[in-house]
Amino acid sequence: MSISNTDRSTSGYRADIQGLRAVAVLLVILDHYDLLRCRYGYVGVDVFFVISGFVIAGVLFREVDRTGSVSLLSFYARRARRILPASTLTLIVTVAASLYLFGQIGTFDLAHDAVASALFTANFHFANQGVNYFADTAPASALLHFWSLAVEEQFYFVIPSLVLAITFLFRRKQRAVVVVVSALVVLSYVWSIIATHQNYQTAYYSIATRAWELGVGVVLAGVISHGSRINKWVAASGTWVGCGLIVASAWWVNSPLDYPGSIAGIPVLGVALIILCGASDSKYGFNRLLSQRPAVVVGDLSYSLYLWHFPVIALAMKYWPPQPDLTSRLVLLFVAVLIAYASFRFLEDPIRRSTLIKRAPWRSLAVGAIAMTLALVVSVLPTATLEAHSAVRVNGNPALNKLQAQILAATKVKYFPSASDPPLELSLGTDSFSIPSMVTNCTPSLTQVTVPRCSYGDTASSKVVVLYGNSQAQMWAPALDRLGVRDHFRVVPIAKPACGVFIQVGYVDPTGHVSTVCERFVAQSIKRMIALHPVSIVVAATLGNLLKVGADPNQLGPTNRLPSSSLAPPTTQQTIDAVTKFVAALAPTHAHIVLLGNIPVPLTGGKYPGGTTPQGCLLENLHDIQRCSLAAPSVATSSNRYKLRQSALAAHVPFIDVNPLLCANKICPALVNRLLVHYDTLHLSRQYAEYVSLGLRGLLGKNLP
């Protein structure tokens, strides 16, 4: 994040800006290492964005004043020399460390992240994958922080050309730049508010929602360059107000669900006040503290600190789940600081200052090109050389390790074996779904709203785990039944197929009519769960359907059910509201509540190749069963998974992605170790659910007794 530093030889150098970089990187580190209760330290990125816009615009404005133009070649040579060597080393070492710790399969996703990071498209990459930056569990990627570098580099592709164009078009060059950029700031800020309301997770990574922050820095550079000064007492007060706004943002006033949105204006305003008022250099201002040597030294190291701090903690959290304790985090931070200092001392600073390299712009560009090529080659290798015998390594979970290896092997199988369990037929028997006795005796009828009382697992145990949901919950019953017997807890299934099972008004009931059956079942289920005092509540469900606005609830189709054109699943906000209300209603249980993600399903109308079922596809492709494999859908391409993940975040409960139980290298085979994975298009077979029980145990971890 430029987070890369300016040369001290540049006439516009301000020590307090370097100190402000130190504030920014320390906030980010406090957040990522969970120190000092700094829950919203990600505002440090906003601080970096404003600084970057200010510094880069200042460099460009001074070049225009000095030469009358902008040399794009020289500009990009400086960027390449300062940014690419250090970022390349970070990518190479992170991928190598992941290969050592987790093997090739465990590095498969990270390798793709590294390619996007090397090309400075990481923000688009993580947004398209629906990666949740605010997840409470281990980060989705050890390179997740490269999203902000990508935003800055995309900004750098635009701003010098904009300044160059305005230089030729207008006599008052800086004023024209300020006017144009100010208009873009307003547009970007308005879009940030709109986009965050629509989908805050995607908005967080977007250049369109972040451009205004960099633009504020550009405007500040233009205003300050005119030489006007603020009264020193007013300036001193302004810097302290700015400091207060940043601190308030980092500790008290932010919410991930509203970010960046309008609320990002608070830390941005704080930075702007410090930069603008700091130009007056009052000896009583906050900028005086920022100009002290300790702050400046940390600011000089800020780029390397930003690059290295995150891979260290992210890889550690993946290797030693759950989150490391305070002592471990402090040790990891010490290691990250040592690596960052070494990177700065022996690579970043020497290359940035090298007279030989700086002598001609093409040499800097050549260094950048070599660095990017190295990063891409190292990033591609783990996927290009992947072997079938490689296995993911999940520390402390050999069952999941073994399962992943078997799934990977299954992605290489071409022919259907001589036998399978259950035997391959066009439609599997009901004994291949869930626990047959549970489906028969513990499933409410279509119109029933009372909760049957059944128990599985260790039925004598006082520790109760509720399995709640619809047919998706029934699907996981065989796995939890085995775990209950093994780990001595009682499993109480509460499931009503074809119902939305969160608190919602207007569900279409299992008979295909609008009624209160589902809502009343939810209410009865909540009462039952409170009475049970469970240790854990595992929720697995699709969302059900609601009547579309304006649709006639009495306009039934030829099957005496509402036609699909009259129905719609809940929106993301409706789902968030329903799940949050549901979780709040269960607060008296004091149980661990966890939402399971949905299994991969075909994305083309629910049909497999040939427009058939999983079994039908296998029967038609006995000599090439990989045609029946599914691509593991990202959250962005699976509406139900996305809404549940968002809802879990809003309700502060864990969301468990079950794809590792079915997929390897983003491929989900239909047959694993001679077991049919699916019962039908939407559900696992009983045999496969039992088979992955220990893997599920590993994913649920401390959420089960």
Burial class (CB in 10 A: 0-12, 13-18, 19+), 444: buried
So where are the chain's domains? 15-382, 425-601+634-662+685-703
> How far is 120 from 368, CA to CA, in rounded Å?
13
Q: How confident is the model at residue 389 (pLDDT cuts 50, 70, 90)?
A: very low
Average pLDDT over residues 499-511: 87
pTM over the 0.95 mark: no
CB 501 within 8 A of CB 470: yes
Looking at residue 169, what is its pLDDT? 80
The tokens describing 397, both together, are 């979970």
Q: How far is residue 670's CA from residue 407's CA, in Å, rounded to a whole number?
A: 10
Name the token pair of 656.
């468990």
**How far is 539 from 700, CA to CA, in rounded Å?**
12
> What average pLDDT does the segment 579-587 reach?
95
pLDDT-derived band at 137 (thresholds 50, 70, 90) equals low
On the CB side of 6, CA atoms within 13 Å amount to 24
Are 594 and 539 in contact, with CB atoms under 8 Å apart? Answer: yes
Residues 6+ apart with CB under 8 A from 309: 25, 28, 29, 32, 33, 333, 336, 337, 340
In sign, the C-alpha dihedral spanning 299, 303, 308, 311 is positive
* Separation CA 318–CA 354 (nearest Å): 38
By the 8 A CB rule, do 51 and 21 touch?
yes
Query: Residues 386-408: what's their mean pLDDT?
Result: 60
- pLDDT tens for 631-673 read 776 443 466 777 888 888 889 999 998 988 998 887 899 999 8
CB atoms under 10 Å from CB of 98, counted, come to 28
Instruction: Determine the average pLDDT of the residues in 122-148.
Output: 81
Query: Higher confidence at residue 414 or residue 190?
Result: 190
Structure confidence by residue, pLDDT tens digits, 7-60: 433 456 899 999 999 999 999 999 999 899 888 899 999 999 999 999 999 999
Give CA–CA dist 514/193, Å, rounded: 35
pLDDT at 638: 60
Whether the CB-CB separation of 446 and 511 falls below 8 Å is answered with yes
3-state secondary structure of 695: helix
The answer, yes or no, to whether residue 603 has pLDDT greater than 60, is: no
3-class secondary structure, 539: strand
pLDDT of residue 136: 60
- Alpha carbon 563 to chain centroid, angstroms: 36
What is the separation, in whole angstroms, between the first and last Cα of the chain? 43
What is residue 426's predicted lDDT score, i.e. its pLDDT? 86
Q: How many of the other CB atoms lie within 10 Å of CB of 253?
A: 15
Contact between residue 202 and residue 254 where contact means Cβ atoms under 8 Å apart: no
Taking 70 as the threshold, does the pLDDT of residue 334 lie above it? yes
How is residue 345 annotated by DSSP?
A: I
Alpha-carbon span 422 to 416, nearest angstrom: 13
pLDDT band at 604 (very low <50, low <70, confident <90, very high): very low
**Could you please report the per-residue DSSP string of 432-459?**
GSS-HHHHHHSS--TT--S-----EEST
Whole-number average pLDDT of the chain: 87
Residue 276 identity: L
Distance between CA atoms of residues 117 and 371, nearest Å: 13
Q: 611: alpha, beta or left, given left = phi > 0 and alpha = psi -120 to 50? A: left
Distance separating alpha carbons of residues 40 and 31, to the nearest angstrom: 6
393-422 average pLDDT score: 76
What integer pLDDT is reported at residue 319 of this predicted model? 77
- Hey, how many other C-beta atoms are within 10 angstroms of the C-beta on 7? 12
Stated length of the chain: 705
In percent, the amount of the chain with pLDDT more than 70 equals 91
Q: Higher confidence at residue 201 or residue 677?
A: 677
| pLDDT tier at 386, thresholds 50, 70, 90 | very low
| Closest among 310, 241, 338, 316 to 41, alpha carbons compared | 310
- In the predicted model, is pLDDT for residue 580 greater than 90? yes
> Would you say residue 681 has pLDDT above 90?
no
User: Selecting from 3.40.50, 3.30.1370, 1.10.10, 1.10.230, what CATH number does the domain 425-601+634-662+685-703 have?
Assistant: 3.40.50
What CA–CA distances, in Å, run from 591 to 240, 545, 585, 620?
Answer: 45, 28, 12, 46
pLDDT value at 104 more than 90: no
256-308 residue pLDDT tens: 778 899 999 999 999 999 999 988 877 889 999 999 999 999 999 999 999 99
Distance between CA 314 and CA 532 in Å, rounded? Answer: 38
Reported as a pLDDT band with limits 50, 70 and 90, residue 322 is low
Tokens of 61: 């404005």
Pair 212, 184: CB distance under 8 Å: yes
230-257 per-position pLDDT tens digit = 888 899 999 999 999 999 999 987 777 7
> How far apart (Å, rounded) are the C-alpha atoms in residues 478 and 682?
16
Helix, strand or coil, per DSSP, at residue 667: strand
570-586 average pLDDT score: 92
Which SS3 state, helix, strand or coil, does residue 608 take?
A: strand
Percent of the chain with pLDDT over 90: 47
Q: What is the pLDDT of residues 422-474, one digit of tens each?
A: 888 888 888 999 999 898 889 888 888 888 889 999 999 999 999 999 999 99
Q: What is the pLDDT of residues 58-77, one digit of tens each?
A: 999 888 888 888 888 989 99
The residue-averaged pLDDT of 125-129 equals: 81
What distance in Å separates the CA atoms of residue 662 and residue 397, rounded to the nearest whole number?
A: 16
Residues forming beta bridges with residue 196, ordered by sequence position = none
SS3 content of the chain, % helix, strand, coil (to 5): 60, 5, 35
Between vectors from CA 691 to CA 598 and to CA 130, what angle results, nearest 5°?
25
Give mean pLDDT, residues 89-108: 83
Q: Residue 696: pLDDT above 70?
A: yes
Q: What burial class does residue 698 get, using C-beta atoms within 10 Å of its C-beta: 0-12 exposed, 13-18 middle, 19+ buried?
A: buried
Q: Which amino acid is at 383?
A: T
Q: Give the separation between CA 117 and CA 122, rounded to whole angstroms.
A: 5
